[in-house]
Structure 1
Amino acid sequence: MPVFNINQNFNRLLKAEDIDGDKKITVDDKGPKRFNLISINGKSFEVCGTFHLSILLQELYLAKKDGKDELDISKEMIFQLPVDRASSLIKNYFWKGLTRRIDESNIKASVTDSKTHSEKTYIYIPPRDEFAFKYFKNIQIKHKDLNLSVEKLPPIITDKYLHVLNKKPGLLVLALKKDKSGTTSGVPFVVPGGRFNEMYGWDSYFESLGLINDGRIDLAIAMAENFFYQIEHYGKILNANRTYYLNRSQPPFLTSFIREIWENIEEKNKAWLKNALQYAIKEYHNVWVGKDRLTSTGLSRYFGSGSGMPPETEPEHFDAVLKPFAKKYKMAIPQFRQKYLSFEISVPELEDYFLHDRAVRESGHDTSYRIDSVCAHLNTVDLNSLLFKYEMDIAHFIKQEFSDRFNYQGKIHKSSDWLKRAKIRKELIDKLMWDTKRGFFFDYNFVLKKKTNYESAVTFYPLWAKLASKKQASILIKRALPLLEEAGGIAASTKKSRGKVSKNRHAKQWDYPNGWAPHQMILWQGMKNYGYHSHSARLAYKWLFTILKNFVDYSGTIPEKYDVVSRTHKVFAEYGNVGTEFEYITKEGFGWMNASFQIGLKYLSKKLIVKLNKLIPPEWIFNNNFQGEK
């Protein structure tokens, strides 16, 4: 195996091929795309093409970073197949780069938050976790250089207290554990990546699918344990563990999370499952069918308590919303914003807007014209499909694992109790949301008492939850799928429903032409549930082709989302695209995108994987009129 001087080849390669100076080699660099590696013996080895040159740069960089002067380079290292390279990086490198623990050894990485700016770094402890309070107080004393302030939350979080917290935002601690030697460490979790450096609700479920696939069920279990801690100490699975997320949750996937773990773990621990099910039932009752979220229809809604603008957004994020009010009060927008946030000005119309905005953010679909300015008045297809799945999963566990008798808070639950809940929910969804003629499930506005008619990818959630009838599934595939399927996968909405965008009506990231990993994975599994395997394969191929083409052309980029019409990661709606800014090699990818690649491969035959490695566009493989075949 030839040996190469790292610095000499590294510097020559950058000078020859990194034309735009961004410390990556991509298709946008207009270099020769042909480089001769020179071994320490003076022998020349040619490497051609963007992808292989980018691998070479990455491997030289990693060796250089490790302090090496020389590197053995084999053809197997440089001339990897794209699928193998992407899958290997996700499994062996990206998951590690995204893993966090909140403890003394990881405190600096965990508290980092680019979404806020504060002189001090605040860490907040739940009122009943005295052990955590003492542990982190000790860290505060020992590490004065970190400028930490450890504070205990009050037993009741009021809107007034939330506004106090907004002026000193900080990290909410998660579970701690002691090993046999008595050493305390944080229970680990995976973050999405980039500016999202905390544990997110629904992201964690999809990340866990990838982790379990990649042999990291231990980390998936740890993340579930952190969810249990959140339900116990914060009252809900949080949007994420920062103070500005205390007032809202995210789409509920806990029973699916538990089921994935239980069905894949080798050693079954019934005590663990019992504890997990207790927390799922608690979350269901206290959050999703609690007084704030259960509506007059009998179905649930997304809802976030509080008032005013969400502090985690960029200051200018709501300028278009604030502009007419600033004009009315004859103020510049920054001045109006400051006075509104300090309660010097009260604007009922804005409070209504932000009531809905908090619900939008709890939905995870922040933001979309589907739910903008109306979300708190909607029984959404996605939420109620997820709760139907909860009810069916809980019934399944009670019957299959607990002999059809489960004690929750002194009351015996039987599977029939939960099946009845699911039956009622399905009947309501069919009555209020299903449109046979158009072939869509639509969100229901319980204030206006009518369907919204906004065509979006959440129409496929009933397939994933096994809520749809076989007839409904067939109609969805014949009518809804052709409207949402694009060159690179499923779009979040149709162009028609999104409407025109302009400088006064900006594009929103959860709308056409963008596609998102959770929507793809939900649809693949939903198709599979009803026997539409060829559809799952086609849609998975389209999505994986989009990921891999951008990965190959842009130095291993795996971002938060894609434009599935143009099959590009260059998406600039709202705050841009997380996961695209890095030097030499990305350390993370993006959580649920990583998972979607690993999971998507399971839907492809060996022949399709061969085609994917050759980057054959899907239109060369699949008939455009494929819809409807089974």
Structure 2
Amino acid sequence: MLLPTLLALATLIRADELPPSCNRPVYCNSDLLHYVQTSRIYTDSKTFVDLHLKKNENKTLADFNELLEKTNRNPSREQIKNFVDQYFQSGNEIEVWKPTDHNDNPPFLTEIRDKTLRKFAQDINSIWPTLGRKVKPIVFEKPDLYSFIPISNGFIIPGGRFTEIYYWDAYWIVEGLLICGMENTARGMIDNLIQLLKKLGHIPNGSRVYYEQRSQPPLLSAMMSLYIQRTKDLAFLKANIDALEYELEYWLETQTITFEKDGKSYTLLRYYAPSMGPRPESYYEDYTLAQQFEKEDRQKEFYVEIKSAAESGWDFSSRWFIGPNGENTGNLSTIHTTKIIPVDLNSIFANALQNIAYFHGLLHNPREAAHWAYLAKQWRSTIEDVLWDNEDGIWYDYNVESGKYRKYFYPSNVAPLWMEAVDRKLLMNRAPRVISYLRDSQGLGFPGGVPSSLVKSGEQWDYPNAWPPLVSITVNALRALGTREAKQMAFDVAQKWVRACLKGFTDNKQMFEKYDVEQPGRIGGGGEYTVQAGFGWSNGVVLEMIKNYAYRMTAADSNSELSDESVSEMELSVESVEAN
């Protein structure tokens, strides 16, 4: 399967042509949805759209319309609540599932030198079964009664209010599962995503119908790469190589934008999730915010921008704010996600192209391997031409409207290193400049981790919150630079993060989705919902860091540390073992 030519499509879809968030009116586009969500019978908008129907959808909608007629379209909050109680129910779509490949004492634990960290890793490993879920047969038999999209394999949920599989969360969950030797569960997670891809033509934000019109960072091929490197399961790869290619074609056909920079034309990806109305799972919040705009077209534009930001996974952040002078200040009313070319998205995509080339090499398809490798090289070159700022020595997001870099600290700035989207010949030149940028930014100087930004916007993907994926990106980017200084910085960030998470776990007996950089172990805040425990990617990232520094990392400074020379020898030894 070959990629289409890298040509951009129209950058905008007319507001009157926008599709609903899904083709299930009860959950995505109906008077029922509007009245329930704006009545606030549930404090969390997600609660309603996660309920399942007791009766068929047409009957439910017709009966609600009768209620509207009887009440002159002004039902009381109590009447709405009674209707929902009569026609909807919660709690019988998924069941607790214990992965059969879970091991209370996975072999990697023996590699961990520090006893406290070994116990911490063991405790985190014990969380996996508590997050295991499987879709009940009734959802397959009567899918029209549920918002959950049925998937056949057991899976690991993030935790808390997030009781479905989420796309980019799955990357760090899969990594953690593989570290713990849970290869079958990891394969099932990947296969579930491929099922969604085949069903919808792309992988949705999560396995609910109301997520169908938006995706998340395209990390499927990266997950497959982790799995193949661990298992050498080429039969699984061969069976799914077409699906992996198809996903990249989806992004090229729907998410590209062509623009001019320095007199040249370039094509790159941006987040773009066009559909009508508020996000169903955050309906009240979006609808309320949209009322500040007088014109309906501006409201519709706002909904697209807010959904596009949700597609990024960074919901929400000053990263997507464009103020009057192009700055990253303001609030959600100044969100303009679709005008921004993200460093991380394009780095992930370049890596995905290279992964497909790598996979074809494993499958002995040299022509296809060369084709995809060429496309990957082109994409990496475009990243350098467009997103590398030679003045500051770092990659930045790019505003296509103003033609200017977004010169602000975000961990995503180093994503090209994390995703190996930088040609090796450039690494030696880039290393001292990236290190200098990170030191000058002061983004690595906080006791509780790496902040999502240095902006206090009140949004959850801004200061002072540290998110596990962004800490992982930072650490692995520094490791990729390869210099002694960068490796030491990577270790320092990783150790600080693991210690912060250990402190939080000791205090609360739980792992959380985000933490506060100002105080190690303190739970993060902000956003549209209370902080969630569990937590899938938090577990995966801590396991990744403990494993990568198993011989060196300590739970406290009082423990003696190994010399840099002995550590380097041990790391080389470990890398050699892993390569074999």
- TM beyond 0.5: yes
CA distance in 2, matches of 1:519, 1:572: 16
CA distance in 1, matches of 2:559, 2:167: 34
2:350 to 360, 366, 388: 388
* Aligned partner letter, 2:341: N
Q: Check whether the contact 1:211–1:217 (CA below 8 A) recurs between aligned residues.
A: yes
Equivalent position SS for 1:100: strand
CA spacing shift, 1:481–1:396, aligned 2, 3 Å: farther
Aligned ranges for residues 56-455 of structure 1 at < 5 Å?
82-92=116-126, 94-104=127-137, 123=139, 132=140, 136-137=141-142, 150-151=143-144, 170-175=147-152, 187-265=153-231, 268-285=232-249, 287-296=250-259, 297-313=266-282, 315-316=284-285, 319=288, 321-322=289-290, 324-325=292-293, 347-372=296-321, 373-405=335-367, 413=368, 415-455=369-409
Equivalent position SS for 1:305: coil
* Aligned partner letter, 1:315: Y
* Aligned partner letter, 2:352: Y
Displacement of 1:216 after TM fit?
0.4
Q: Check whether the contact 1:514–1:563 (CA below 8 A) recurs between aligned residues.
A: yes
CA spacing shift, 1:439–1:360, aligned 2, 3 Å: same
CA distance in 1, matches of 2:240, 2:183: 16
Displacement of 1:169 after TM fit?
6.8
CA offsets, 1:26-47, max 9 Å, x none?
xxxxxxxxxxxxxxxxxxxxxx
CA offsets, 1:511-564, max 9 Å, x none?
11111111122222222222132222111101001101111122x121000111
Equivalent position SS for 1:313: helix
Equivalent position SS for 2:148: strand
* Aligned partner letter, 1:95: W
Moved over 6 A (4+): none
Match of 1:521 in 2: 472
CA offsets, 1:355-387, max 9 Å, x none?
111110110111001114111122210110001
* Aligned partner letter, 1:447: E
CA distance in 2, matches of 1:82, 1:270: 38
Displacement of 1:230 after TM fit?
0.9
Q: Check whether the contact 1:463–1:527 (CA below 8 A) recurs between aligned residues.
A: yes
Q: Check whether the contact 1:550–1:568 (CA below 8 A) recurs between aligned residues.
A: yes
Match of 2:449 in 1: 489
Q: Check whether the contact 2:155–2:188 (CA below 8 A) recurs between aligned residues.
A: yes
Mark the structure with the bigger radius of gyration. 1
Displacement of 1:314 after TM fit?
6.2
Displacement of 1:576 after TM fit?
4.8
Q: Check whether the contact 1:378–1:443 (CA below 8 A) recurs between aligned residues.
A: yes
Displacement of 1:284 after TM fit?
0.2
CA spacing shift, 1:316–1:247, aligned 2, 3 Å: closer
CA distance in 1, matches of 2:129, 2:378: 43
* Aligned partner letter, 1:305: P
Kindly indicate which of the two structures has a greater share of residues assigned to helix.
2
Match of 1:550 in 2: 504
Aligned ranges for residues 479-628 of structure 1 at < 5 Å?
479-483=437-441, 484-485=443-444, 486-493=446-453, 495=454, 498=455, 501=457, 507-531=458-482, 532-554=486-508, 556-580=509-533, 589-604=534-549, 606-609=551-554, 611=556
* Aligned partner letter, 1:479: Y
* Aligned partner letter, 2:349: L
* Aligned partner letter, 2:468: A
Match of 1:456 in 2: 410
Gaps in structure 1 of 5+ consecutive residues:
1-79, 108-122, 124-131, 138-149, 152-167, 176-186, 329-345, 406-412, 502-506, 581-588, 623-630
CA distance in 2, matches of 1:99, 1:305: 32
Structural RMSD (CA): 2.5
Displacement of 1:459 after TM fit?
0.6
* Aligned partner letter, 1:473: A
CA offsets, 1:51-78, max 9 Å, x none?
xxxxxxxxxxxxxxxxxxxxxxxxxxxx
Q: Check whether the contact 1:295–1:301 (CA below 8 A) recurs between aligned residues.
A: no
Equivalent position SS for 2:320: coil
CA distance in 2, matches of 1:391, 1:292: 15
CA offsets, 1:399-458, max 9 Å, x none?
2432414xxxxxxx2x22222212222222112211122232111122332222232110
1:472 to 427, 430, 437: 430
Q: Check whether the contact 1:570–1:577 (CA below 8 A) recurs between aligned residues.
A: no
CA distance in 2, matches of 1:357, 1:427: 30
CA distance in 2, matches of 1:479, 1:397: 35
Displacement of 1:481 after TM fit?
4.6
CA distance in 1, matches of 2:552, 2:345: 37
Gaps in structure 2 of 5+ consecutive residues:
1-113, 260-265, 322-334, 565-580
CA offsets, 1:587-612, max 9 Å, x none?
xx200001111111023353532537
CA spacing shift, 1:316–1:602, aligned 2, 3 Å: same
CA distance in 2, matches of 1:322, 1:91: 43
CA distance in 2, matches of 1:271, 1:565: 47
Q: Check whether the contact 1:457–1:519 (CA below 8 A) recurs between aligned residues.
A: yes
CA distance in 1, matches of 2:363, 2:173: 26
Alignment: residue pair count: 422
